[in-house]
Structure 1
Amino acid sequence: MDAPTMLQVSRHTHPETGDGLVVELTLDRPEAMNAISTAFAQEITATTAVLAADPSVRAVVLTSAHDRAFCVGADLKERNGFTDAQMMDHRLVSKQAYRGVLDLPVPAIAAVEGYALGGGLELALSCDLIVAGEGATLALPEVGVGVIPGGGGTQLLTRRVGWSRAASMIFTARRLTAQEGRDLGVVDELVGAGSARERALALAATIAANSPVAVRNAKRAMRVGMGTDLAAGLDIEDGAWRATAFSGDRAEGVAAFAEKRTPRWPGR
């Protein structure tokens, strides 16, 4: 008998075309507040790999089936019994899961309600945008249990909010309210408690209405260029522009504008 899935996948189709444009990934391990076990990490990796290879996907929303927690991070109960060798094996599996979210070629949005702690916040940081409900609690508390953020937190948070703000969060292991997270720039949009999923799906639908070729190339130029100097970044942008400017989407976009109609993106 197959093990129950901990990651629910649903498609939200366009009301007119029926295309599966927005994919919702729902973390669903309620007994552990979505703590990431080895099996859960493997499921995230496998699912994101499928989505990354699917040209019909235009945006991804990562959410939780339960308002109490988005994700509380690593499954410490599972780790407690690990040998050093098992810990290293789990490390590789865990890294793949976070990279699976980070490397999605389409925009990803985290809808955070409740606790987003440690690896849970790192899952959200691996997305491009974070929408949080007013009752959310955010933290990277790893130094308090003798480790450091290992799902990209030291790098992604610093890039998002700057050195001193990231240092304050990571070095103190303190918890932030959703409002504090918004004030610091950890959270992009703050909404009423219980409304994060609805807002994230609406935002994803807005993104999905645009040219999929243009959106994918814009994300690639931004992500790749962010790690280079300005001159190299501009060259990366130029390559992405050329790949978009001579695409079927660009031709359709111009034609639709001239004809004053909604574009029917070929996605190539």
Structure 2
Amino acid sequence: MEFVTYEQDGFIGVITINRPKALNALNTKVLKLLDKVLNEVDLKTTRVLILTGSGSKSFVAGADISEMSILTKSEGELFGKVGNDVFRKLETLPIPVIAAVNGFALGGGCELSLSCDIRICSENALFGQPEVGLGITPGFGGTQRLARTVGIGKAKEMIYTASNIKAEEAYRIGLVNKICSSEELINEAKKLALKISRNAPIAVKASKRAINEGISLNMDEAIVIEEKLFGSCFETEDQKNGMKAFLEKTKVEKFFNR
């Protein structure tokens, strides 16, 4: 597709926001194309997704200001809903998603990375929610996911001041899991994806679901979700093969997603 590309590498899918002349900024067309790509991912054969931006300057520099500048109140709400619906679909995708953040991750770009399970970034990465400097709030989940990821105090500081942070600070506050060179970013993302893909895919999916569904609940409710998902694993061949191999002191050659 013109602005969003997809490649399959074994069990790993790679989605690239491909609008480099606009620093991969998100407009309605890009969001709808990303939604289409997510709908078409084969979840039976794909175990991990990597999401990145084209070029070395920008992951996603934000939502397209030229489009937003003329929106009315109702159009602004609709634009926010379009972005939130796509980002929520990404966040709740059954399989893990790794954001490979190459450069600017500002506004909608930071929010897009926050919708992924794991974030790794290049040394030149820059994160921020600059919206209040433009007279708006974050609109694609930034006020919610940033606080859940780095804590309320730090999230409020970043949003209220519209300040950007570099890769080192993003790592220090837990916004990213790892920093690497621009040249090694995609390879490092693929190494991590491969490591995940070698584990029992049903168990990985169940773990993601348990974390996502339980995080907003109190502990008594959350552990019930975990118990049920834990129990469901005992109906799978992956569990039988994994435990049999452990007891026999061998390794499972391949999990089969069943």
Provide the TM-score with structure 1 as the length reference.
Answer: 0.91
Corresponding residue of 1:175: 164
Residue identity matched to 1:198: N
Measure the CA separation in 2 of the matches of 1:8 and 1:135: 23
Which residue number corresponds to residue 107 of structure 2?
Answer: 118
Find the residue that maps to 1:35 and give its secondary structure: coil
Residue 17 of structure 1 corresponds to none
Q: Which residue of 2 aligns with 1:235?
A: 224
The answer to whether the 8 A contact 2:198-2:254 is kept is no
- Cα distance in 2 for residues equivalent to 1:263 and 1:149: 46
Q: Is the 8 A contact 2:214 2:223 kept in 1?
A: yes
Greater displacement, 135-144 / 42-51: 42-51
Q: Distance in 2 between matches of 1:118 and 1:240?
A: 35
Secondary structure of the residue aligned to 2:84 is: helix
Secondary structure of the residue that 2:46 maps to in structure 1? coil
Aligned counterpart, 2:130: 141
CA distance in 2, matches of 1:149, 1:263: 46
Alpha-carbon offset, residue 259 of structure 1: 6.3
Corresponding residue for 2:4?
7
**Secondary structure of 1:149's aligned partner:** coil
5 Å-filtered alignment, 1:48-197, equals 48-51=38-41, 54-197=43-186
Name the counterpart of 2:23.
33
What is the rounded CA distance, in whole Å, between the counterparts of 1:133 and 1:165 in structure 2?
22
Identity %: 32
Identify the residue that residue 46 of structure 1 maps to in structure 2.
Answer: 36
Instruction: Determine the C-alpha separation between the residues in 1 that align with 2:152 and 2:80.
Output: 25
* Counterpart for residue 225 of structure 1: 214
1:155 Cα deviation from its structure 2 partner: 1.3
Q: Deviations over 1:18-64 (max 9, x none)?
A: xxx1111111011211111101000111211222x622111111011
Task: Choose the corresponding residue for 1:247, options 225, 236, 240.
Answer: 236
Instruction: Give the partner amino acid of 2:211.
Output: M
What amino acid sits opposite 2:36 in the alignment? A
Please give the TM-score of this superposition, normalised by the length of structure 2: 0.95
- 1:75 alignment partner AA: D
By how many angstroms is 1:7 displaced?
1.1
Gaps of 5+ in 2: none
Matched residues, number:
257
Instruction: Tell me if structure 1 keeps the 8 A contact 2:233–2:239.
Output: yes
